[in-house]
Amino acid sequence: MKVNEKLLRRAIEIAKNAREHGNHPFGALLADADGNILLEAENTVVTENDCTGHAESNLMRKASKKYAPEELQNFTLYTSTEPCAMCSGAIFWGDVRHVVYALKEVGLYEITGETPYELALPCREVFARGTHPVEVEGPFLEEEARQVHLGFW
């Protein structure tokens, strides 16, 4: 779990950066099997005026341009918050086979309160409907991951 903690903390730091840049506080990164960070992405929904600018979707756009699907299968996506249904789809179609997240979706909704954009569908359920497996680990470091959201929503 040491590599997971280090990389999840970096994803949370990326989420803090997104918030400082005027975006929603979400961050993600892609790492190889040795824990080396290959790519990072933050949420850009506000600054790019793009509802699909979630951290994981942004990361998968970068990753699919840089790496072949066969390579992506061996990488792990670390994210500050459980991927939403849209991002889970991008991860699935991008062929990343391992996801590790900090704050669970339900924990995020506890912070945000009721919103017209809640799509309560855990990533494990999305991936379970796919034709290839995606291993999911999490939640981890939830209290640390919650902190970046406090006072934002």
Please, what sign has the CA dihedral across residues 120, 122, 127, 128? Answer: negative
| Catalytic option among 40, 56, 82, 105 | 56
**Is residue 56 annotated as a catalytic residue, yes or no?**
yes
Residue 5: burial class (beta carbons within 10 Å; 0-12, 13-18, 19+)? middle
Which run of H or of E encompasses 8? helix 2-20
Quick one: how far is CA 63 from the chain centroid? 13
Catalytic center residues: 56
